[in-house]
């Protein structure tokens, strides 16, 4: 009997998502994709990108923090006027 492919399991095991500090490769240098995305997020958040090389785990944490900060900023920038069309349709 063929083994079941764990990637196709709709309810994967509990070890499929680990915190970055528990990654086996977390101490390796960040990937090119991480560096590029981190630079983009830093520009968007108007913060200085890190000057030193980061590990994969540290880059991942910084990316998540910047994404959360940018999402919070977008939420605060929305004004009730942005919803006027929606409110008019509901009336």
Whether 66 is covered by a domain: the verdict is yes
Look at residue 81 and tell me if it is in a domain.
no
Residue 4 lies in a domain: no
Domain annotation covers residue 61:
yes
Q: What is the pTM of this model?
A: 0.64
Q: Is residue 62 part of a domain?
A: yes
- Residue 65's domain comprises 30-44+53-76
How many structural domains comprise the chain? Answer: 1
64 in a structural domain: yes
Q: What is the CA radius of gyration of the chain?
A: 20
pLDDT tens string, the chain, 91 residues long: the values are: 566 776 777 776 655 678 887 888 889 999 999 999 999 999 999 999 888 889 999 999 999 999 999 988 887 776 555 555 655 666 5
């Amino acid at each position: 009997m063929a083994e079941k492919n764990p990637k196709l399991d709709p309810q994967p095991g509990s070890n499929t998502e680990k915190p970055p500090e528990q990654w086996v490769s977390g101490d390796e240098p960040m990937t090119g994709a991480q560096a590029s995305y981190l630079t983009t997020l830093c520009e968007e958040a108007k913060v200085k990108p890190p000057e030193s090389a980061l590990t994969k785990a540290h880059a991942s944490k910084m990316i998540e923090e910047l994404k959360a900060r940018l999402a919070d900023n977008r939420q605060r920038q929305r004004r009730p006027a942005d919803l006027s069309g929606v409110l008019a349709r509901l009336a």
